[in-house]
Structure formats: structure tokens, C-alpha cells
Chain A
């Protein structure tokens, strides 16, 4: 099926198999491998991207469902070689270790602040419920998100 999807500001016209998941379209067709796959049950959130500005798990939808939509992946956050404030906050607060969950976590965190610009610690913890990290124990992830919120 033919789809037209704008990814990181660039429009892509592709012919995809109907069963192609959006995450596979992003990783394999567009070769944007920053978006990771960590599970097969939509539990881990490593594949979180923004669809029309909203954080979604890109393994929960088909590429054809994104036809006409605008997608932002982790590769689309930095502008002119300068990282997004959330990326900077993760770096400054040691919010990542192995980095595998990180792209999804950063996208989810930006989505969280879009909905609630000044969350409490508890709201950050609840808001990131759908994203799993095995390295950091979340302490510094929560700290990163709160730091990004307070610098806004």
C-alpha cells in the first residue's frame, strides 16, 4: 500500500506491506535505527515516537495507519547540532546508562511535559509508567524530566 508520511520534517512516499508496523517502517524502510524495539507486547516503550506531536508506541500501530501523519523520531529532536533540552537534561542528570530505552524514554518525557509542563515527581513517575528502564532505577530519569520542566 502506498503511504505518505512526514518523518522529522521530511515527506516520504513509500510502498509498504499492510502488515508492516510503524516501528519497522521507521527502522527498516527509513533506516532510522534510533527507535528501538525491546519487547513484543507493547510493554517496554523503547519504540516511543511522536505522532502529530503526541507520544505513541510505534509498535502499536501499522505504518499504513500513519498515512498522512507527521512523525518525529529521536533523530529529529536535535536542531542544528544542538540537542533538545530534554536530551540535555538526560545527559546532565545521568538519566541514561546503556541507552537502549533512552530514545523512547526521551520521547515519552517530552510528551509528558507537553501535557503537563510542571509535573510533580509522582506525576513524572506515573507519566512514564509505559516505559521500562533496567539500568537507572529511574531515579535520574525522573530527575532529568523534572530538571527539563523547571528550565522551561
Chain B
């Protein structure tokens, strides 16, 4: 590590307040919907009320008569506008079936919310009124809502594919052929469990919004859009529309949360671009909340079959996993790859031999497409292995924490090459788990539990836990290639020291609440010896930050932040040549500390970076052959994923008469390596944990048997409020990553990964004396009450 960790003036590790906050707190910040571009036409999209139907006819004549309506387009009208169908960048297998998917449906609709027609009007009211005036005749078809029904091809959704099964992705890792089967035969203990990951709606507080603005001359077009991937979107939109890439500029203004849901190329982005070009006028679209629930991707949606084999000591000897993953009606950008991201984490944090049999079947249904939602495949995997560990502990009649301790990868085993072939960089699971146990007062809670959970008691105490690894820092490009992912995993940074010793950092990451501007300024300030306020951070505009792979998968710091540090190193090396020239010494004789070069052993022979920056700007006295200006660009491809880890615990009280669950205490011990800004790290954990709690207790996209979403508004879809969730105790261990110079790992998804199994295992623990061994998510009062009744009735039999 080149950063000196304990330097008294270190900026890294301080709780610097966020520079992003004042504009957001005063209403000055501009979200896409706040942009008022004169002359804009408003786009509204007519959406299918059927989950599966043929389009018999569309009559737009009445809509066209409404004052203010400029044009109405159907899928057929726009068929020639697309150079290619909507992109899916992750064909996980070479024979993956992927139906053609266009921004508007052409002859049939495949989910409620599928776009059927587009209205352009001079104002929003007219464009929305026109939707009601379009007459569409549908021939309803049988809808595939249940995942297992769909897998059985009861009705084939995309008839040209001949099946609803898109792909089967296997991963069999065996030390010797047949060793998985052998391990299960020889196992002293085995468990076989089925878990359901309910569909979730990401519900970023800002619904999506888009404005496409054609430039008056030359055919260029600027797309303002609420996205987390301006760079990827630019490439994909250019290819889909057949626009030369250099003519397209994508800007993500302030983005009001995303959680994976804005990691996509959406029909509306493409419609706004195509129609703005067609009409040579700005086109804007603003999503309503109930539209967001159906037209923006959903998350999770898996059925998991998990089997563990263990020896007489509870040491796990083999893992077998079969996933059925709900793709929804079509593939969005990385839909098929989401469950595959979890494939490497079904061994959790445990030392498991090369005996792993995994397969995932991707299945189409007549529901909104799924794609990345916070954690993306990894919370699902962690849930399965952690629930599996609990089941195994029940089978063995031992404490599940003790069972975990027997299986944790030990500190001295790092770097640890897992059966998947991936190398876990560093970790100390026992340290994190014991810290969590201490903060929970585990012994005290267990003692209280014995007193409280007596026969006849109606308020039962339970403790739950989960230990996790997060595979993040996406990703080494060659690994992505081996997974058939279309793009690389690098990140770009440019660092420029201006004439007045002010610094510009240009990053290819694209924040939407994570505080990148503050953290990136801290990294550059630390490296260059300037004040953080002298560092300007530019991002999220493809004409300013022309290279980038954007923000998702907890990658921004572990890849993008490291790229900034490397670009600073390059700037320092160039500055060193200028300093050596001007101080008339060898470059190797110079040391750089606190923003000043000095000759080793002669501190009075020194030159501050400010003088060198000005000298590089005037270029009056540079070494022969050296270019003017202090600037460096780096594209950094990480050598490995990074592996944050931790243990979460919580204490719940379950009311057996009402089924209500109250979380009394929630402890999160996370290790994300070096923390750049602990204030921001804690905030990421708090938010992540609450999204995990929300999956455990509150949230589910509920569909009726016809494929209608019954939870499309925030009145029905239960995003928790402040009174629904507890205060969260955060604590950390710090195990720097050895694979990057900052020692950082990433923290964006850790909370979400840890929380759902922690809460569910606590509920099951509370109810264990009643014979409860399972709990569906969300564990609503009704579900808990029903589960208790089924278990106790079963007990009486």
C-alpha cells in the first residue's frame, strides 16, 4: 500500500461532510424532471392491461383529434426506426433463447405494462388524455404467472422460441468425477430445502424521467436521463438506433436513487431519442409511480433448491443448488446474468471442498422483466446458504453459530481459492462474527430468551444471524469474458492539476446518492497533498467523462476510486520529472510529501506542486520532450473482484397471537477494507440493511392469477417508513484488500445481502419451540400467524 495509513494529516478515513448536500438540501439540485427545455413535446406510453394477448387492431384516430396531440405511434409504425432490438448484454450461454424485444410491442403484448402506443403532445395533460382515446382490440391469451407453470410450458409465451426455458447454466466443480454424489451418499447429515425469493420492486424515490434534445445543427442529440449508466446507455442506444456514437451525448443529472433499477436501456430512452430525431424537437417523458412499478425492472424472483452434505462434525462436504429464475417477459440489459452472479456465492463464507453442483434455469413469464436489484444474485445466494446452515444445525441439533465456526474459512487461509476458482482476497470471519455477538450481547439475549420463551408465552424472543461475502468491484474484464458478458469491467479516471493548483478529477462512475464527489475528492487530495475543497469532481456526462463503465455492483470505489489513485500517481510521476529538471537533481532523488517535492536529505531544496503545475501550464522551462500540462488518464482493469464480508445479528420479538414481528436490535459488522469516509460507509450500511429488512418483512410484488400487479402504488407496496424499522448499530473490522493500493473493497450492497437472512433466521429462532422451521418472505403478520398455526396443528397430529 502506498498510502501511509497513519499519517497525522490523512484525509482518508475522516468523516468529511458531503459536498453534494447543500444543493440537494436547498432545492437547487436538478433532477431530470426539473429540466425545463422550451419547445419540448411530451411523450406518454399506452400500456397493455393484459399480461398476455394478441393485438388485433389499434385505432388512434380519436386520439389524434385531441387538441395538443402531435402524433401517435404504434409498434408497427416505428418498426423501421430500430437498427436492432433492445439490447441484452449478457447471453449467459451460447444457446440462450432471447426473444426480439422492441420499445413498443408489435403484434402481441407479454406483460401488463408492455408498451403498445406512444403519444406525443405539446403538453403532458393532452398526451395523457390521448391514451384514453386510443382503441386497442386485444385477444387475451393464457398468462404464465407462476414460475413452475411457465417452466412446464403450459403456455409458450414466445412461440418462435418453442419453450419458456431460456437457458440452463450449469457449474459443476468436482475434485474427482462423481464426488458430489459420493459426498451426499457418505454424508452423516444432509438437508434439502426450497426457498422462494419473492419479486421486489426497487422503488427508487425518483421515478425515471427522460428528455432527449436534438441540437439545432449537425444531427447531434443529447439525452438527459435518470440513469446510473450514462456510458453503457450511450453505446447501446447508438447501436439500437443506428446513431453514430459520437453524435450522442448522455447526461445523468441528479439521480434520485436507483438500486440497480436504472442500470438499464429502457424502451422510453429509445422512444424519446427516436421521436426527438423524427420531430426535430425535444421530447420528454416522466414516469408515474404506478407506471414505475410495471415499466421499470423488478428484482429477485427465484425458486431455490439447496442441498448440503456434512460429516459427523458438521463440516460441509458438498453443495448442490438448483435455481429457477424468473426472467419476466423479455430480457432487459443483464437479466439472464443476475442469478449467475450469485452462482459463486452459494458456499458463503465457508471452507467447502471442490464438490459443488450448481445449475440455473432461466424462465420467461408474463410479468415485468427482472434485472439487477441491490445485491443482484448475491443476496439470494447468501440467503440460501445461511438458511441452509440453520437447517443443518437443526438437523444436527447444535447451535448454528457453532456450526458456522466449524466451517468458516480461517483468517490464515487467505488469499483463499474457492471451489469456483475465484480467489477471496482477505477476511477474518470469526473476528467479525464475534464482534457482532458481543454487540448483540448474545449470551445475555440467550439467557433472556430462556426466561421469556416459556410454554404459553405469546411474545417470543429470537436471535438471528448471517455471515456473508459480497463479490464486488465488478469486475476483471477477462472473468467477465469467461461469463459471456459483452462488456469489460474497467473504469476510467482523468486527473488534471490546473494552472492555479486546483485539481479536476473526471470519473467514469455515475453516482446517484453515494457521495462520489466527496469521496473522490478525498482520494485525490490525499494523493496530491491538496485540500479536498480544491478538487473538483466531474462525472455523469459522456462529453466530459467520455470513458466510463458507470456505477453498479459496488464497483465505483473498488474500481473507479482506484483508477483515480492511479491517475494521481501518473500525475505525480510527471511532476517529478519537472521538479527534477528545475531542482537540477535526479528524479529518483526526490520525495513527494504533503504536496511538495524535496531532495532526499536536503529538505530546503524543494518545489511545491503548485509551482510545478504553473510551470507545466506555462511550459517555459520543461525537460526536453515533455508535454505541457499536468494531466493523466488511467483505464484500470481490476485484477480480482473485491470481497467485503461481515456478520449481521438481530434480536426480534414475535407476537404469536398477531404474527407481528418487532426488531428489537440490529447489529451490522461489516468489513469493506479501508474506509475512505466512514460517514458514507455507515450510511450505505443503514440503507442496505433496511432494504434487506424490507424484503424479509414487508415487500413483495404481488400478482393475481391473470398477471395483474396488485401492488403498483406506494399505498399497496410496503416500502417501510421510519416507524417500521429499528435504529441500526454499525461496527466494522478493517481488513484491507491486498489487490488495490487503497485497500478498498466496496460497501453498496453489503447491508442488503446480510439483512434478509438475519431477520428470517431470528423469526424462526423465536418460534422454534413451536416447531416452526420455515418462514416465507415477506414475513408479514398474516404469514407468521399462518406459519405458527400450521406448525402447532402439525405438532398436535
Binding site for B on A (CB under 8 A): 27, 31-41, 43-44, 46, 73-75, 77-78, 83, 87, 90-92, 94, 96-103, 106, 121-122, 124-126, 128-142
Contacts and interface: CB of A to CB of B under 8 A. Distances in A.
Contacts of A34: 26-29
B373 to A, nearest CB: 12
Please indicate which of the listed interface residues A46, A101, A102 has the most CB atoms of chain B within 10 Å of its own CB: A102
Contact of A99 (B33, B254, B719): B254
B728 A137 contact: yes
A137 B713 contact: no
Contacts of A100: 31, 204-206, 256-257
Given A43-B715, A128-B721, A96 B25 contact: yes
B722 A128 contact: yes
B687 interface: yes
A136 B713 contact: no
Contact of B25 (A102, A122, A126, A142): A102
B27 A73 contact: yes
Contacts of A124: 722
A139 B33 CA distance: 28
B171 interface: no
25 contacts: A34-B26, A36-B31, A36-B256, A38-B207, A38-B256, A40-B713, A41-B290, A74-B26, A74-B27, A83-B22, A87-B26, A94-B17, A96-B21, A96-B24, A97-B683, A98-B206, A98-B254, A98-B255, A99-B21, A102-B25, A129-B721, A134-B259, A134-B691, A137-B686, A142-B722
Nearest to A44: B714
Contact of B205 (A73, A75, A91, A132): A132
Interface string B678-710: 011011001111110000000000000000000
A90 B25 contact: yes
Nearest to B726: A139
A96 to B, nearest CB: 6
B589 interface: no
A135 B25 contact: no
Candidate in A35, A41, A90, A94 with the most chain B CB atoms within 10 angstroms:
A94
Contacts, number: 174
A106 B31 contact: no
Contacts of A130: 721
B686 A136 contact: yes
A44 B514 CA distance: 21
Contact of B289 (A35, A40, A106, A131): A40
Nearest to B24: A99
Contacts of A75: 26-28
Nearest to B728: A139
B206 A91 contact: no
Task: Label chain B's interface by main secondary structure.
Answer: loop
B687 A136 contact: yes
Contact of A97 (B17, B28, B687): B687
Contacts of B288: 40
A2 B722 CA distance: 39
Contacts of A94: 17-18, 679-680, 682-683
A43 B727 CA distance: 22
B713 A141 contact: no
Which residue of B514, B679, B682, B687 has the most chain A CB atoms within 10 A of its CB atom?
B687
Given A137-B751, A140-B683, A142-B727, 18 more contacts: A33-B31, A34-B26, A38-B256, A38-B289, A44-B289, A75-B27, A91-B18, A97-B687, A98-B257, A98-B513, A99-B513, A128-B721, A131-B722, A134-B259, A135-B683, A136-B687, A138-B725, A142-B722
A101 B721 CA distance: 12
Interface string B285-297: 0001110000000
Centre residue among B24, B206, B722, B723 by max chain A CB count within 10 A: B722
A91 B205 CA distance: 19
Contacts of A44: 205, 289, 714
Nearest to B678: A94
A98 B25 contact: no
B357 interface: no
Interface in B667-685: 679-680, 682-683
A19 B725 CA distance: 37
B27 A103 contact: yes
Nearest to A122: B723
B515 interface: yes
Which of A73, A90, A138: most chain B CB closer than 10 A? Answer: A138
